[in-house]
Every structure is written in C-alpha cells, then in structure tokens.
Amino acid sequence: MRLFLAVSWLIFLSLAMLTPGKSLPDVNLFDFQDKLIHLLCFITQSYLWCGIGVDKSGKIPTNKRLWFNFAMFGILIGIFLETAQLLIPNRAFEWMDLIVNIFGGSIGFLAYLRWPSIKFILE
C-alpha cells in the first residue's frame, strides 16, 4: 500500500510541477501560497518514500535504505523537478522553491523518524 501511495504521489507531483505554466489555473489566496504548497508536497513525498523497503527492526543511524530513500526522494527529486522546470514553457526555476523543496523533504524525513507508531500503518 505504501509503495502504491508513494509512486502515485511522485507521479502527481511530477505532473503538477512539469505542466506548462499556461495550463495551470492562476489562484492567489495569500502571500507565499506557492511556497506552502511546495513545502506540503515535499513533506508528503519524503514521508511516503522513507518507509519503502526499510527494515522495521533496523537502527536508524545504520539503516542505509532509509538514508538512500531520504536522499533520493526527499532531496534529489526536489532538485530535479525544480531544475526541470527550466525546460518547460511558461515555468521558471526559482531558488526559493528549491530551498523549500529540500526543507519539506527534510521535515518529511524527521516526521518519519518521529512518529514510529504510525509510520508502518501504510504497509
């Protein structure tokens, strides 16, 4: 179940971030709305992927799979998707979006570590 949700979220996130700009509705409810959306998207992204293939009994500092998942899906995907916007019409690379993506991925990782009672419910 967790793998299905993680892959589905990655596909959704990729489509949302790589859709040409004129195809997206222009909605501005408040300042920094875009940054909040980036933050929430990458918290979810990192949280879902951190648990994929992780040994439930393994210790966190030595759990290589956990650290790989965090690096790949919490950090690198955020960098890749933001950078790929350079190639998409009417989309633009923004440093602040990149920073918020990485920050969100880090929060998702910390949330995964913090709530051990719920992190395997999705398994």
Tokens representing 28 are 């501005």
Residue-wise pLDDT for 61-79, tens only, equals 667 888 899 999 999 999 9
pTM (two decimals): 0.83
Residue-wise pLDDT for 2-57, tens only, equals 889 999 999 999 998 888 866 555 556 656 778 999 999 999 999 999 888 776 66
Count CB neighbours of 8 within 10 A.
11
For the chain, how are helix, strand and coil distributed in percent, rounded to 5?
70, 0, 30
Contact between 105 and 45 under an 8 Å Cβ cutoff? The reply is yes
Q: Which residues of 88-98 are buried (b: 16+ CB within 10 A; e: fewer)?
A: eeebeeeeebb
